[in-house]
Amino acid sequence: AQVVQAEFVKSSVRTEDCPSDGLPEFALVGRSNVGKSSLLNSLVRRKRLALTSKKPGKTQCINHFRINDSWYLVDLPGYGWIDMDPLWHRFLWFSYASAPQELRTDWGKFTKDYFINRSTLVSVFLLIDASIPAKKIDLEYASWLGQNQVPMTLIFTKCDKRKKKKNGGKRPEENVKDFQELICGFFQTVPPWIMTSSVTNQGRDEILLHMAQLRNY
Ligand code: GDP
């Protein structure tokens, strides 16, 4: 299940513009700063592959990376600017406001369209920061995916981080347990979940194995 080849293919603004070769794909999504690019780089064992999708203008796009010439990893725009501290928020609001009109109006709307209409999407990998307490916006996102019957895997990030008072004073394992209990309110069953760290590479092989199993279904 290892990655031997990874290449950036394209950035798309609409679902219709995504690659049409029918290869199966997995989408990574999560709050801004959750550790999405770090995880992407750790999965493909490269330091800078995800840099392509961090370029200005590309962060609001659907970014396709072809793996081993047989499936795609898809980097989706981050959500949850509102959670950031006010100064950052003001700065980002400024960049957001200066984004082209078509991007501004499509923000969020097109990712929902992608989730519902992308027929080759095997599963959404929803990234949750395990170093902080559960966030409302993450629970809302998970519940939206659940309600729309989009297959999902929960990826808990930053599991190497020690507990900090300012982050609620809980260990990553405790935050993960809390999140799962909260999510039980929305689902009959808890979605599959994997604990990861891009620092120690914890969970990397587990994710790749899980993806291989889902592809062979
Ligand atoms: P993105 O905005 O979701 O793409 O997040 P990044 O990958 O840029 O990471 C955001 C911040 O979290 C950076 O400062 C990273 O160094 C840090 N980070 C990401 N993954 C981990 C992790 O597994 N462990 C720790 N301790 N920090 C991480």
Which pLDDT does position 95 carry in this prediction?
52
Is 73 in contact with 37 (CB distance < 8 Å)? Answer: no
Task: Please give the model's pTM, rounded to 2 decimal places.
Answer: 0.86
Per 3-state DSSP, what percentage of the chain is helix, strand, and coil (rounded to 5)? Answer: 40, 20, 40
CATH number (3.40.50.300, 1.10.390.10, 3.40.50.10800, 3.40.50.460) of 6-215 reads 3.40.50.300
Q: Nearest C-alpha to atom 6 of ligand 1 is from which residue? A: 35
Q: Is the ipTM of this complex over 0.95?
A: yes
- Looking at residue 87, its pLDDT comes to 52
Q: Ligand 1: does its nearest atom lie under 6 Å from the Cβ of 198?
A: yes
Question: Which residue from 195, 194, 199 is spatially nearest to 211, judged by alpha carbons?
Answer: 194
Other residues' Cβ atoms within 10 Å of the Cβ of residue 44: 21
Ligand 1 center to residue 167 CA distance, Å? 15
Q: Which residues pair with 66 in a beta bridge?
A: 7, 72
Q: Which residues pair with 31 in a beta bridge?
A: 79
pLDDT on residue 103: 41
Confidence label for 124 from pLDDT (cuts 50, 70 and 90): very high
pLDDT digits (tens, 9 = 90+) for 26-56: 999 998 889 999 999 999 987 777 666 666 6
Instruction: Give the domain ranges of the chain.
Output: 6-215
How far apart, in whole angstroms, are the C-alpha atoms of residue 109 and residue 2?
Answer: 33
Residue 180 corresponds to which tokens in the numbers above?
A: 């799962």
32 lines ligand 1 (CB under 6 A): yes
Cα separations in angstroms, 5 against 8, 25, 83: 10, 15, 36
Q: Does the beta carbon of 124 lie inside 6 Å of ligand 1?
A: no
Atom of ligand 1 nearest to the CA of 157: 23
State the pLDDT at residue 109.
65
* 158 Cβ below 6 A of ligand 1: yes
- Does the CB atom of residue 58 touch ligand 1 within 6 A? no
**Does 64 score more than 80 pLDDT?**
yes
The pair of three-digit structure tokens given for residue 165, joined into one six-digit string? 């008072």
52: Cβ below 6 Å to ligand 1? no
In this predicted structure, the answer to whether residue 134 has a pLDDT above a threshold of 80 is yes
**Which of 33, 162, 171, 175 is the best mutation target for the ligand 1 pocket, counting ligand atoms within 8 Å of the beta carbon and taking the most?**
33
- Beta-carbon contacts of residue 191 (< 8 Å; ≥ 6 apart): 142, 146, 152, 153, 154, 183
pLDDT digits (tens, 9 = 90+) for 148-195: 889 999 999 999 998 777 777 899 999 999 999 888 877 767 789 999
Q: Which amino acid is at 5?
A: Q
Name beta bridge partners: 93: none
Does residue 88 surpass a pLDDT of 60? no
CB 103, CB 133: distance < 8 Å: no
CA 100, chain centre distance (Å): 24
Determine the average pLDDT of the residues in 51-76.
83
Mean local confidence (pLDDT), 52-61: 67
The predicted-structure confidence for 90-108, as pLDDT tens digits, reads as follows 555 555 544 444 444 444 6
Q: Cα separations (Å) of 56 from 11, 19, 43, 59, 96?
A: 12, 22, 23, 6, 11
pLDDT of residue 102: 40
Q: Give, for ligand 1, the residue of 32, 34, 38 to mutate: max count of ligand atoms closer than 8 Å to Cβ.
A: 38
